[in-house]
């Protein structure tokens, strides 16, 4: 998530998640500062340009042009070189693995990684890259819980990507990236075609409007995040007490789920909390 004021964004997301950050750090080679929350199935990163850095001009320009909001999708890989080779075999043109490091500003711990970036014209305008963590996972601890177990966010349920060309997006995430397509269905009552891709214990939801003319070459856009909570009522009560403007709890689209919307400003990210159906 790209943000202008990292301190303010960390305050918002710590209250939203009911968790303290796993790390407050920097990327010396990128000219950026970040705050990370390691959740059960992924981690959320808040990213901002360092004030005097010329290296981060791209991020600064993005914030000026589009404002705060979801910046990109980072997919994990166990081997950056093999990942790039696989993407090349699928007809994509990823960049060579790039080494990077992240420094924890509080502890001084340095974590090393390699990333493989897809060109924007092949990722439909969305920042998409794979990352291989080279340092032990315990160097980025789980985000400490600062609220009750029932009300704190445990993970990400799904991320929403909007598209004007559902077939092209299906090709990218399914065939090109090799992510499993779990469902492709049109919902007339909502006027939407939804495609659900499953990876790493979460879902990438591709949303396209029904009846609209396909726009070849139109870029996709990252839109929102749905977070998992054990108890929707407890989470809503906590967030209301924190000063968030939230909707009533309602039945989710997936049978057995219960959801509510966070209407307060969340730095440009449409946000939902979801209580999963009982197993």
How much is the CA Rg of the chain, to the nearest whole Å? Answer: 19
Q: By mean pLDDT, which of 52-66, 79-93, 107-121, 163-177 is the weakest?
A: 52-66
pLDDT band at 52, cuts 50/70/90? Answer: confident
- State the pLDDT confidence band at 55, using cuts at 50, 70 and 90: confident
pLDDT of 214: 81
Q: Is 40 exposed, middle or buried (CB count within 10 Å of its CB: 0-12, 13-18, 19+)? A: middle
206-260 pLDDT, tens digit each: 999 998 888 777 899 999 999 999 999 999 999 999 999 999 999 998 899 999 9
Per-residue pLDDT at 146: 98
- Report pLDDT for 53: 81
The model's confidence at residue 278, banded by pLDDT at 50, 70 and 90, is confident
Cα–Cα distance measured from residue 163 to residue 213, given in angstroms and rounded to the nearest whole number: 12
State how far the Cα of 256 lies from the Cα of 140, in Å rounded to an integer: 34
The Cα–Cα gap between 194 and 132 comes to 30
Confidence at residue 91, expressed as pLDDT on a 0 to 100 scale = 96
- 8 pLDDT band, cuts 50/70/90, is very high
Residue 82 has pLDDT above 80, yes or no: yes
Residues 26-47, mean pLDDT to the nearest whole number: 96
The CA distance from 79 to 153, in Å, is: 30
**Tens-place pLDDT, residues 177-209:** 999 999 999 999 889 999 999 999 999 999 999
Q: How far apart are CA 169 and CA 207, in angstroms?
A: 10
Q: Specify the pTM.
A: 0.95
Give the pLDDT confidence of 111-169 residue by residue, as tens digits: 999 999 999 999 999 999 999 999 999 999 999 999 999 999 999 999 999 999 999 99
Q: Return d(Cα 34, Cα 50) in angstroms, integer.
A: 10
Residue 72 has pLDDT above 90, yes or no: yes
Backbone angles phi, psi at 254, to 5 degrees: -80, 130
- Where residue 217 falls (left for φ over 0; alpha for ψ -120 to 50; beta otherwise) is left
How does residue 54 score in pLDDT terms, banded at 50, 70 and 90?
confident
Report the phi/psi class of residue 271: left, alpha or beta, with left for phi > 0 and alpha for psi in -120 to 50. Answer: beta
Q: What's the confidence (pLDDT) of residue 190?
A: 86
């Amino acid at each position: 998530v790209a943000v202008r004021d990292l301190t303010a964004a960390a305050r918002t997301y710590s209250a939203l998640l009911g968790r303290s950050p796993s790390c407050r750090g920097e990327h010396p080679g990128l000219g950026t500062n970040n705050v990370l929350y390691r959740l059960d199935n992924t981690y959320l990163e808040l990213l901002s340009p360092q004030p005097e850095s010329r290296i981060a001009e791209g991020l600064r320009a993005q914030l000026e042009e589009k404002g705060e909001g979801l910046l990109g999708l980072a997919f994990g890989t166990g081997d950056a070189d093999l990942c790039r080779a696989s993407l090349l075999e699928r007809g994509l043109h990823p960049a060579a693995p790039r080494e990077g490091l992240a420094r924890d500003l509080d502890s001084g711990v340095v974590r090393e990684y390699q990333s493989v970036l897809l060109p924007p014209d092949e990722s439909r305008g969305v920042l998409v890259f794979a990352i291989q963590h080279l340092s032990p996972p315990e160097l980025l601890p789980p985000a400490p819980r600062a609220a009750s177990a029932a009300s704190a966010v445990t993970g990400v349920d799904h991320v929403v990507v909007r598209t004007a060309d559902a077939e092209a997006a299906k090709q990218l995430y399914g065939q090109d990236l090799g992510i499993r397509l779990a469902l492709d269905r049109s919902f007339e009552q909502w006027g939407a075609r939804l495609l659900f891709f499953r990876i790493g214990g979460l879902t990438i939801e591709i949303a396209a409007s029904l009846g609209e003319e396909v726009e070849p070459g139109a870029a996709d856009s990252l839109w929102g995040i749905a977070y998992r909570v054990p108890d929707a009522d407890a989470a809503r009560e906590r967030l209301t007490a924190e000063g968030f403007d939230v909707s009533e709890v309602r039945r989710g689209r997936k049978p057995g789920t219960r959801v509510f919307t966070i209407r307060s400003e969340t730095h440009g990210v449409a946000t939902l909390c979801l209580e999963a159906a009982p197993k």
